Structure 1
Amino acid sequence: MTAALGAPAHRYYLFGLTIDSDIGLPELVQGDPDRKADVRVSKGPIDFGRDLEEGVHAVDDGMMLVVPDVARFFVSGGSTILVDAEAEVPAENVRVFLLGSAFGLLLHQRGILPLHANAVVIDGHAYVFMAESGGGKSTLAAWFQDQGYALLTDDVAAIGRNDAGNPVVFPGVMRLRLWRDALEASGRDTVDFRRSFKGETTYEKYDVPVSETAKADRAYALGGIYILNRGDSFRIQAIHGVDAVHALFEHSYRGGFVYDVGAEREHFSECVRIAKSIMIHEVFFTGRLEALADEALSVIGHLSDKDD
């Protein structure tokens, strides 16, 4: 299936896991050289399943993620990812899917709950902001970074447990993806940043590196979860019980993978545990970029209210 593995070229830390990788992943923080690796990322070729169509497929003892014209990713045992990239595909395009869907599949295999969310460290706790694609997660996270708050993760928030059994959020990918209008509204210039997907002229998202002072490099206790929505006026409201569990399930990153790996029961149980122990709120933003600062400050005021 694979060639013999030599010494890895890189050591990273991602989602609470130590990663040995043959592929450079500049979006990640460096890993501890003295720790045993949890995951190995290797380059192909993969000599089976070449007739598989786009999507995820159960193959042998793992799962094959097929991204046409980019790469195939074989994810096995929650511990290995083999990458077979198409010839001449830019490395950053391969990383889009490796650090996204492929690692999402691996997290589901390991039983770590990945949410489609950003997380920011505020007052020593991790606050998670969930939304659908284009829902403003990264725009809000960029505002937090510009105010001096540490970014814990972009796009995928991996929720695990500490030694006491309490939920924590692990550090994730250390970059933000902003649409052109949000990038420019933040005072940044598109000429200073590269497109998230090279060669795709209609996909006007740009990668914004996180400054060294704004990076969080350890897990933080989960302080609260906010679901970002659009509304005619700004407001925040709590959700409870079945609605809270449903929201977590619906905002699970690549939620369909839960069924692909057969982890429905464990995934649902973890969503219930979190909904019982952590306050979950819906936040209705107006979507007007000129109102973002005032609305974000209202969120900070809300999460800082210990009596809420």
Structure 2
Amino acid sequence: MLGRDRFRLIHGEILPQFFYSLYGLIIGCERPLPFLPLSAATRADVTIRFAALENRQETPVALAGKFSIFADKEARFTSELGFAAAISSGRLITVEASPHLSQAGLHAALFGPAMGWLLFQRGLVPLHGCGVEVAGRLIAIVGHSGAGKSTLGRALVARGHRLVGDDQLLVDPVTTRVPPGMNVMRLWQDSAYRLGDGVSEEARIAAGYDKYYVDLGSPIPGDSLPLRLVLALGCDPSRDRPHYVPLNRQQGAAMLCNHVYQRPVAYSAGYAPAVLEWSTQVAVRVPVMALDRPDNFEALTDICEEIERLVAIEQGTPR
């Protein structure tokens, strides 16, 4: 069951309308989006519609990667996989997608780069990371693509902890609270198999790309949670055990800034001051640690046990 059909009259045509909850926002879409948690709401903060994109005649003020950014802050994102989107005013994403694009590929582009840009338009700063609730404490695992943050997050979930969100996390810089994201993770095929997850061809993000969406099945928290620790994950093949280094506030702010989602694109559009302010405020309130892990899968158990120990220490420390 993907949800109940709701109908609206749009330009004289009746379309089904589905509503979902994501990052504390209500997402409305004319098509079902099976990876998102359903919402009982009937009004959307963000609307996703599918239509041919109109050509913009003016020259973009900035080009960054697959983004073209215009003077009104609208961004156009184009992927070679057959996906293009116009992201406007923090409220609307218009999608033009190839009929050959898989549901997983559509989801990866729509709720990765396109949604990340929309969050910036709304004055929010998305952190590129995986959030897991460990013994009632929210831990954010950040790292560059391929660092293993989702694999570590999945290993923690396998030990009985709970996923809060993967790929993007929204941290309120004043309260440090993080609203829930999606209950799916992006895992490499090898990691999924080693952690006991099966993968299907329908969940493959792109042809020839061995990364898949894995549905964890268990529900994510319904309410936002305060962030208690940020772990910046790196890989050090010379180590045989994980190595943790607490960072001071300046180092922590720099680390957070470095792991903001789509940071180069955000800087190209003038969001650097907002990113810097957000990073500084969060680093004042949340401890940040660098974690260099060995380059082997077997070290996951040691890392998970150390994270659990850190949380236990934090629980016993008066705040």
TM-score normalized with structure 1 length: 0.88
1:273 aligned onto 2:281: yes
Question: 1:92 pairs with 104, 107, 112, which one?
Answer: 104
Q: Secondary structure at the match of 1:283?
A: strand
Alignment partner, residue 244 of structure 1: 252
Question: 1:219 pairs with 211, 217, 224, which one?
Answer: 224
Q: Which amino acid aligns with 2:175?
A: N
Cα separation, 2, equivalents of 1:58 and 1:6: 32
Q: Is the contact made by 1:20 and 1:37 (CA closer than 8 Å) also made in structure 2?
A: yes
Please give the residue correspondences for 1:12-23 in structure 2 after superposition, counting only pairs within 5 Å: 12-23=20-31
Q: Which amino acid aligns with 1:56?
A: F
Question: 1:204 pairs with 204, 210, 215, which one?
Answer: 210
Q: Deviations over 1:135-185 (max 9, x none)?
A: 111111111221221101011112126xxx411112112211221221221
Cα separation, 2, equivalents of 1:60 and 1:270: 24
Q: Deviations over 1:172-224 (max 9, x none)?
A: 1221122122122113344x5644324x12x11122102124x2232111111
Q: Is the contact made by 1:193 and 1:208 (CA closer than 8 Å) also made in structure 2?
A: no
Alignment partner, residue 44 of structure 1: 51
Q: Which amino acid aligns with 1:68?
A: E
Deviation at 1:291, TM superposition (A): 2.4
User: RMSD of the alignment, in Å?
Assistant: 2.4
Q: Is the contact made by 1:228 and 1:283 (CA closer than 8 Å) also made in structure 2?
A: yes
Q: Which amino acid aligns with 2:84?
A: R
Q: Is the contact made by 1:195 and 1:204 (CA closer than 8 Å) also made in structure 2?
A: no
What residue ranges of structure 2 are gaps of 5+ in the alignment? 1-9
Please give the residue correspondences for 1:19-98 in structure 2 after superposition, counting only pairs within 5 Å: 19-33=27-41, 36-49=43-56, 55-59=66-70, 61=72, 62-98=74-110
Question: 1:126 pairs with 138, 141, 164, which one?
Answer: 138
Q: Deviations over 1:221-245 (max 9, x none)?
A: 1111111112313121111132211
Cα separation, 1, equivalents of 2:84 and 2:211: 23
Q: Deviations over 1:231-284 (max 9, x none)?
A: 313121111132211111110011123224422212211110001111000112
Deviation at 1:125, TM superposition (A): 2.9
Deviation above 3 Å: which 4+ runs of structure 1?
3-8, 49-54, 192-195
Question: 1:176 pairs with 175, 185, 192, which one?
Answer: 185
1:112 aligned onto 2:124: yes
TM-score normalized with structure 2 length: 0.86
What residue ranges of structure 1 are gaps of 5+ in the alignment? none
Judging changes above 3 Å, is the alpha-carbon distance between structure 1 residues 101 and 6 closer, same or farther for their aligned structure 2 residues?
Answer: farther
Q: Which amino acid aligns with 1:137?
A: K
Deviation at 1:101, TM superposition (A): 0.3
Q: Aligned residues, how many?
A: 298
Deviation at 1:60, TM superposition (A): 6.4
Cα separation, 2, equivalents of 1:263 and 1:170: 22
Percent of pairs identical after alignment? 22
Cα separation, 1, equivalents of 2:202 and 2:156: 21
Deviation at 1:68, TM superposition (A): 2.7
Alignment partner, residue 146 of structure 1: 158
Q: Which amino acid aligns with 1:206?
A: Y
